[in-house]
């Protein structure tokens, strides 16, 4: 019988789904790095984000192997209720519960009530949901829930996981200054061998955006900035359409762009296709309202792509390091300047920036402290 600590994870969506973005990648990476030291049990839906179609070739409502250290319970919609969740959890032997997110009734809130009766240690990974920029969407509902949670003491005795010190401060601001918070950075995808020195910067310059089409991801902000670009360029968008009305607005802007600017929506990109796809481009652009970590940003660095991102992410002071630009989204001139510098950058300079991006990712990914901090998250609970 294994002596490894057993970790129960509750999360709305997991692999093979990819449409919900960063959290799926975060947990997949966590398991990949820590599978020699821990056993994982994941309770999740048997559908992807925004879909009602069940995963093919996966039996729902039973434990199935994901790898040698991980089992997953994919719940079908008809069985997604309190009684069934309680049955699954109460019949499972585990040491620590690791809850993803804050606001999901079935996978963030209800598990706390069930686990409190099981007297199991609980870690909640806030995943940026308590950061200030996260309240730009559904602010009133979120604030009401948090006020009720504080009143009822829902988070009493619970430990929170933050991915950086800024997030730790945000958690304490929303939950209470006495909240127990431990910092452990997200673990990145392991470096692939797909990075190669670029022989030529594309002409016209090629940009890529990998994110859901949504207000908080700043798709419209990026597209609107292109109206004032005077040189040819290409931008490919990958990601699920989160808001059809918002996407209609984006398409209107695209139709108004000069004919020397080509914007193409390429649909949803499977997670495993991301590293190789990125190597087809020169720059990564994501003008989101904020990122708690930004897996796609790090993966862009890994592929040798300098980035154009907002200044509301953990990736800072980029231009001085020849890694790209972290931009104040309220300053349109700053956005245009970054785009123009990227488009006009000479190949010999671009090669240096590309290599800087790759080396930055390599240093970050191969830092052994990242793994130790994530191990400590569970070993100290």
Q: What is the pLDDT of residue 116?
A: 86
User: Average pLDDT of 239-254?
Assistant: 94
- 3-state class of 200 per DSSP? coil
Q: How far apart, in Å, do the first and last CA atoms of the chain sit?
A: 22
Query: Order of strands across the sheet with 307-310?
Result: 261-265, 233-238, 205-210, 283-286, 307-310, 324-327
Number of H helices, E strands in the chain: 12, 14
Confidence grade of residue 1 (pLDDT, cut at 50, 70, 90):
very low
Q: What is the pLDDT of residues 283-310, one digit of tens each?
A: 999 999 988 888 899 999 999 999 999 9
Per-residue DSSP letters for 66-110? EETTEEEEEE-GGG-SHHHHHHHHHT---SEEEEE-SS-IIIIIH
Domains of the chain (ranges plus CATH)?
5-187+367-379 (3.40.50.2000), 205-365 (3.40.50.2000)
| pTM of the full structure | 0.83
Task: Determine the pLDDT at residue 271.
Answer: 83
- What local confidence, expressed as pLDDT, does residue 123 receive? 97
Contact status, residue 237 vs residue 209, Cβ threshold 8 Å: yes
The position carrying tokens 């190597």 is: 279
- Please give the pLDDT value at position 18: 81
Q: Mean of the per-residue pLDDT values for the chain?
A: 93
Rounded to an integer, the average pLDDT of 99-111 is: 96
**What whole-number percentage of the chain has pLDDT above 70?**
97
Q: Which pLDDT belongs to residue 155?
A: 95
**pLDDT mean over 264-276:** 91
Q: Does residue 132 register a pLDDT over 90?
A: no
pLDDT band with cut points at 50, 70 and 90 for residue 192: low
With 70 as the cut, is the pLDDT of residue 196 above it?
no
Where does the pLDDT of residue 21 fall: very low under 50, low under 70, confident under 90, or very high at 90 and above?
confident
Is the pLDDT at 49 greater than 80? The verdict is: yes
């Amino acid at each position: 019988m294994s002596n490894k600590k057993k970790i129960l994870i509750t999360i709305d969506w997991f692999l093979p789904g990819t449409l919900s973005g960063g959290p799926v990648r975060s947990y997949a990476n966590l398991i990949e790095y820590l599978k020699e030291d821990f056993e994982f049990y994941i309770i999740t839906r048997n559908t992807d984000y925004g879909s009602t179609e069940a995963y093919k070739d996966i039996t729902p409502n039973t434990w199935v192997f994901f790898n040698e250290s991980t089992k997953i319970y994919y719940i079908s919609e008809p069985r997604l209720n309190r009684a069934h969740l309680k049955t699954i959890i109460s019949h499972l032997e585990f040491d620590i519960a690791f809850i993803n997110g804050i606001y999901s009734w079935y996978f963030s809130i209800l598990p706390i009530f069930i686990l409190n009766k099981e007297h199991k240690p609980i870690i909640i990974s806030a995943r940026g949901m308590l950061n200030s920029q996260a309240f730009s969407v559904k602010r009133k509902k979120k604030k009401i829930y948090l006020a009720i949670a504080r009143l009822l003491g829902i988070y009493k005795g619970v430990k929170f996981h933050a991915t950086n010190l800024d997030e730790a401060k945000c958690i304490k601001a929303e939950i209470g200054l006495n909240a127990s918070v431990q910092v452990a950075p997200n673990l990145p995808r392991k470096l692939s061998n797909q990075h190669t020195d670029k022989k030529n910067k594309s002409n016209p310059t090629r940009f890529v955006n990998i994110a859901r089409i949504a207000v908080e991801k700043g798709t419209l902000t990026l597209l609107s900035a292109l109206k004032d670009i005077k040189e040819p360029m290409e931008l490919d968008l990958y990601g699920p359409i989160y808001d059809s009305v918002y996407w209609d607005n984006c398409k209107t802007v695209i139709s108004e762009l000069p004919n020397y600017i080509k914007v193409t929506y390429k649909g949803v990109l499977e997670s495993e296709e991301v590293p190789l796809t990125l190597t087809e481009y020169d720059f990564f652009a994501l003008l989101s309202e904020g990122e708690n970590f930004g897996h796609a940003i790090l993966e862009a660095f890994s592929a040798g792509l300098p980035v154009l991102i907002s200044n509301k992410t953990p990736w800072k002071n980029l231009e001085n390091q020849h890694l790209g630009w972290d931009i104040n989204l309220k300053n349109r001139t700053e956005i245009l300047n970054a785009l123009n510098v990227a488009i006009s950058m000479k190949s010999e300079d671009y090669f240096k920036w590309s290599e800087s991006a790759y080396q930055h990712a390599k240093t970050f990914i191969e830092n052994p402290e990242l793994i130790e901090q994530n191990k400590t998250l569970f070993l100290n609970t």
